[in-house]
Amino acid sequence: SCHSKNEYDALEFLRKRPKDKPFLLTTAFFAPHCVDGSPEQYYPQNETKKLYNDVNITIPLNGIDMDESWKRLPSFFTEENEARGRWHWRFDEPVKAETMMKNFYRMETEVDKACGNIIEELSRQGVLNKTLIIFTTDNGNMHGEHGLAGKWFPYQESIRVPLVIRDPRMPSKAHGSTNDDFTLNIDLASTIISAAGVEQPARMQGRDISELYLPSKRNKMLSDPWRKDFFYEFPVREDPFHIPSSNALIEKNFKYIEWLEFNVSQLFDLINDRFEENDLINDAKHSRRISKMKHRLKELAAAAL
């Protein structure tokens, strides 16, 4: 039985598609999104409501005091901030916070089950090992980290997303392995058209992710190594105290952030401070790094236009 309209539509498409033609199916689930403005926020299906009853969940998952973390944010983060408002809706009281997270995980479990049913249908039709499957999402989520809830900002919890690829071309030794290279949302289209044997138009900015795991593409990687940093932007056109705009340059070891409307910058050491609690922007020993990262951010921003 189907848990969601998206799952039902996906399975119906697979069953009714012309079997002699290639196909592209995108399934986008509403779960685990909240219902905006509703006090309960997350609404799992009846079948999953009993899951995780005996599990203890303490917010935030990083174990850092939320009030202390909130105080460390730049001064323009006030109670007017959208993510602060959502923190109050969800996480400003321990019992409520635990209920919210359990319902969130219940909804994620529903998505997991739906994906399993779609994969099962591909297997039943005998096309699983001819099909590239990409599982990802459009944004991360803060669950109380920094005293916030939601997305919108360039902190790790907000910008990191899951990416799982099942590719029949992948050598078996790569199955189940993880990879730490920077992949971006702009790479998804490049990866799909490459798998379909289509030449990528020059104006596209993404890169084929299969270069990271297909031996046949190793030469490309030698002549043109994979990115070591990337440009992040979140241009909002609204009240900056509600949701401020931001740009960032992200490297493996450091992140440089610019809050555009407030002329405020931040620098974080992602190795020694992975929860981004200790802003190094005024630390003299990083002044050279800051000017280099500022320059690189400008360079990548110009290239992205």
- Report the distance separating Cα 76 and Cα 262, nearest Å: 8
Look up residue 222 and give its DSSP letter: H
pLDDT at residue 3, as a whole number: 62
83 confidence band (pLDDT: 50, 70, 90)? very high
Under 8 Å between Cβ of 24 and 133:
no
The pLDDT of residue 1 is above 80: no
The pLDDT of residue 2 is above 60: no
The pLDDT of residue 230 is above 80: yes
What is the average pLDDT across 174-181?
Answer: 94
Q: What percent of the chain has pLDDT over 70?
A: 99
* 267 beta partners: 256
222 confidence band (pLDDT: 50, 70, 90)? confident
Strand 163-166 to 149-150 pairing: unpaired
Cis previous bond, 60, omega within 30: yes
Tokens linked to 146: 């920094």
What is the average pLDDT across 71-86?
Answer: 97
157 confidence band (pLDDT: 50, 70, 90)? very high
Mean pLDDT for all residues in the chain: 95
Under 8 Å between Cβ of 252 and 156:
no
pLDDT at residue 140, as a whole number: 94
